[in-house]
Amino acid sequence: MIETANFYNELVGQGIEFFTGVPDSLLKDICGYIADKGDANNHVIAANEGGAVGLAVGHHLATGKVPLVYLQNSGLGNTVNPLLSIADDKVYGIPMLLLIGWRGEPDVKDEPQHVRQGEVNEDMLKSMTIPYTVVDKSSDFKSIIKEAVQSSRASSKPHALLVRKGTFATYKFAGEAQPDLSLNREDVVKLIIDSLGSDDIVVSTTGKTSREVFEYREEIDQGHEKDFLTVGAMGHTSSIAMGISLSKPDRKVYCLDGDGSVLMHMGSLPINGQADGVSNFKHIVINNGAHDSVGGQPTVAFDIDFVSIAKASGYTFTKRASEKDEIIELLKQVSEHEGRALLEIRVNKGARADLGRPTRSPLENKIAFMQFLDQ
């Protein structure tokens, strides 16, 4: 395997000083190393991958240097517009390295939401005329990095490094000090599910939140038809929930969201908030200040005010809580509120090491969920 320190030092040795992106589980070791050891003034964990490309463009314009953008291949879609309409050599010609975690690589076992993305990953890069090099644990990474940087500079366009599973040696991310809160996310998931009525609808965000929803339904011997597990499409959970709310006005719709998800496409908040006449939309943001499913790298969510942003966006109920009794009381108020409600719940980061995954396929989930909505 490739030691993260060696890989990072080679990037710096080739003149790369600026790093930005959205963390990925395949890249969590190198992302953690960059976050811990890199220059804080030259590393930005972006809200989404397209924003990271924008930051990289700005860095090159200001310095003439080659930046690096890291991402999971599921985020490649967020980069298409800025890569083709700004960075492409037929437009402004901006060199940069794209460090892409190859989830769903053909013939490598992965979760269902990654399979299609993994299959088309290379075709997408070829279609965008972005040259790429595959990197694995036995690669001569020094030569690869040197040639990729030279290629990007010479062609004035991005060059991708497509990283296979198991490429990087383990690096334990030290991270920033976290507040000592009384609950974790799984505690809160249980409180929310316990508060629901028999006809209430749940849309849960990607990552560990949906896994915890599934496991708790199993634990209390309930079915899974009430929950749409948004296993992919990070950042779009509340839009899916709002789409259901508009079509099912007589049913309460709970969106179980995360701070990283909300930040990724925060423009959804004013769209949700301005949905006049919607009285059944219940937006629960479980905020642990971290990209918890992909390594625990920090978000900015503890440093901003989701409650005020939601209120300014048009939500008619906006509250924050972190203690169990307060959460239970506010969940009752959310249930009774006639309007667009947002409740931010702050929790510790982290999850059980033995947390399982849904045993039903996305298609099975969809069919059962649609039948529940049709009742």
Q: Tens digits of per-residue pLDDT, 211-248? A: 999 999 999 999 999 999 999 899 999 999 999 999 99
Query: Is the distance from CB of 195 to CB of 247 less than 8 angstroms?
Result: no
Could you tell me where in the chain the CATH 3.40.50.970 domains are found? 4-163, 185-373
Give dist(CA 27, CA 70) in Å, integer. 8
Q: Give the mean model confidence (pLDDT) for residues 98-114.
A: 92
Question: Is pLDDT above 70 for 177?
Answer: no
Q: Which of 65, 302, 333 minimizes the C-alpha distance to 195?
A: 333
Q: Which residue's entry shows tokens 């908040």?
A: 269
Task: Tell how far CA 88 is from the center of its chain.
Answer: 25
> How many whole angstroms separate alpha carbon 76 and alpha carbon 24?
12
For the beta sheet containing 341-346, the strands, ordered from the edge strand earlier in sequence to the opposite edge, are: 227-229, 201-204, 253-258, 281-287, 341-346, 317-321
Least confident of 200-204, 275-279, 308-312, 313-317: 275-279
Task: Work out the angle at residue 39's Cα, subtended by the Cα atoms of residues 136 and 299, and round it to the nearest 5 degrees.
Answer: 80
- At the fourth CATH level, the homologous superfamily of domain 4-163 is Thiamin diphosphate (ThDP)-binding fold, Pyr/PP domains (3.40.50.970)
The pLDDT value given to residue 74 = 92
Write the single-letter amino acid at 167.
T
pLDDT at 251: 97
Q: Is 369 buried (19+), middle (13-18) or exposed (0-12) by CB count in 10 A?
A: buried
Q: Could you tell me the two tokens for 126?
A: 């070829």
Task: Return all residues near 360 (Cβ < 8 A) that are at least 6 apart.
Answer: 214, 224, 368
Phi/psi at 135 (nearest 5 deg)?
A: -120, 130
Indicate the range of 173-182, 346-355, 356-365 predicted with least confidence.
Answer: 173-182
**Both tokens assigned to 168:** 């990087």
Distances (CA, A) of 353 to 115, 212, 292, 302, 344: 24, 12, 12, 24, 25
In the predicted model, what is the mean pLDDT of residues 35-57? Answer: 95
The end-to-end CA distance of the chain, in Å, is 53
**For the chain, what's the residue count?**
375
Q: Per the confidence metrics, is the pTM higher than 0.75?
A: yes
pLDDT digits (tens, 9 = 90+) for 9-25: 999 999 999 999 999 99
| Per-residue pLDDT at 16 | 97
C-alpha to C-alpha distance for 304 and 129, rounded to whole angstroms: 38
Of 143 and 175, which is predicted with more confidence?
143
Across-strand partners of 257? 285
Tokens of 326: 């307060």
Alpha carbons 74 and 121: distance in angstroms, whole number = 9
Q: Is domain 185-373 classified as CATH 3.30.70.20?
A: no
**21 beta partners:** 45, 70
The string of DSSP letters for 20-88 reads EE---STTHHHHHHHHHHS-GGGEEE-SSHHHHHHHHHHHHHHH-PPPEEEEEGGGHHHHHHHIIIIIS
Please name the helix (run of DSSP H) or strand (run of DSSP E) that holds residue 320, with its range, or none: strand 317-321
Q: Are the C-beta atoms of 289 and 301 separated by less than 8 Å?
A: yes
Q: What is the DSSP string of 334-370?
A: HHH--S-EEEEEE-B----TT----SS-HHHHHHHHH
Q: Measuring CA to CA, how many Å separate 178 from each of 23, 63, 80, 300, 350?
A: 18, 34, 34, 12, 11
State which amino acid sits at residue 290.
A
pLDDT in the model for residue 179: 80
User: Coil, helix or strand for 323?
Assistant: coil
Cα 60 from chain centre: 26
